[in-house]
Amino acid sequence: MNKFKQSQAIPQDTQTFMQIITRKNQESPVCCGEVWLVGAGPGDVELLTLKALRVIQQADVIVFDRLVSDPIMALIPENTLRIDVGKSTRNHTLGQDEINQLLVSLAQNGHRVVRLKGGDPFIYGRGGEEMKHCQYHNVECHIVPGITAAMGCAAASGIPLTYRGLAQSVRFITGHSAQGEPDLDWSKLAIDCQTLVFYMGIANSGHISQQLITHGLSKTTPVAVIERGTQPEQRVITGRLNELETMVVDNKVETPALLIIGEVVSLYRGKRTKQRVNRDVSTSVLVPHTF
């Protein structure tokens, strides 16, 4: 007797799928005069949530960031107004205060507004500030979570963020501040059995590695740099903590990229070929460093 029966809750065809969407639209419609902060995930279109897709397709206006991938942008209906407010270092289309006011103004003019962000709106996405501004002006603001870059990039690379005996905790840390270098309590970060994930840390990779080593973390701690994680052009570069800045510079790493620091990186296994960049630095298309 087969104990494993197919669940009747699983949609069997496109019609059933659309019935789910229709029912959810009735239960929780995207209404005029409201703002929805939507996480687009780390880039892979398949990691976009069903709710995010439903909300995007009902919007009148999409206010989007530069980290939203092209395949996800392609899901936006053609007649939907798109407003690019993408920000990168020293290159801001609009300042954050201007973005906050734009969302409120669009909603007050009766539009169904979606603020589409890479990753998750509440993890280094300024979503909290945008929500607070909407609330201050009595504009209804809804949140649709997304898969944050740390989780998506780690999974796509086969690097577990926690692992028994290697990492009992994980920290998500910003590697950038308004002044440039992050002002952090490095002594609390430089401890064993912990995984550190730095967002926006590429430009300050040398400072990050120096501070961690100075405050007691072993210079041979495994590190990974993940560029354009979860996307077809994803690149993973691995090495040791004292090599981090060299890894970034020699491999011409560009944003978006993430730093993972900790013993869990030793579990990474990339595609194997006979080619090497040098003795210490490897990528997903080169022989991984043996820790």
pLDDT digits (tens, 9 = 90+) for 206-231: 999 999 999 999 999 999 999 999 99
Residue ranges of domains in the chain: 17-144, 149-283
Cα angle value 96/102/108 (rounded, 5°): 145
Q: Of 3, 5, 24, 87, which is the active-site residue?
A: 87
For the chain (291 residues), the mean pLDDT of every run of 10, in chain order, is: 53 70 83 98 97 96 96 97 82 87 98 98 97 98 98 98 98 86 92 97 97 98 98 97 98 97 96 37 40 38
pLDDT at 123: 98
The CATH number for 17-144, chosen from 1.10.260.40, 3.40.1010.10, 3.40.50.720, 1.10.620.20, is 3.40.1010.10
Question: Is 65 among the catalytic positions?
Answer: yes
CA distance 68 to 234: 15
Q: Are 144 and 52 in contact (CB under 8 A)?
A: yes
pLDDT at 2: 54
CA distance 154 to 160: 6
pTM: 0.85
Q: Which of 160, 164, 171 is nearest to 264 (CA)?
A: 160
Q: Of 51, 65, 117, 120, which is the active-site residue?
A: 65
Tell me which amino acid residue 202 is. Answer: I
| Fold match, 17-144 / 149-283 | no
Kindly report whether the peptide bond that precedes residue 121 is cis, defined as omega within 30 degrees of 0: no
Question: Is 280 among the catalytic positions?
Answer: no
Q: Is CATH 1.10.150.120 what the domain over 149-283 is classified as, yes or no?
A: no
pLDDT at 21: 80
pLDDT at 14: 67
Q: pLDDT tens digits for 140-170?
A: 999 999 999 999 999 999 999 999 999 999 9
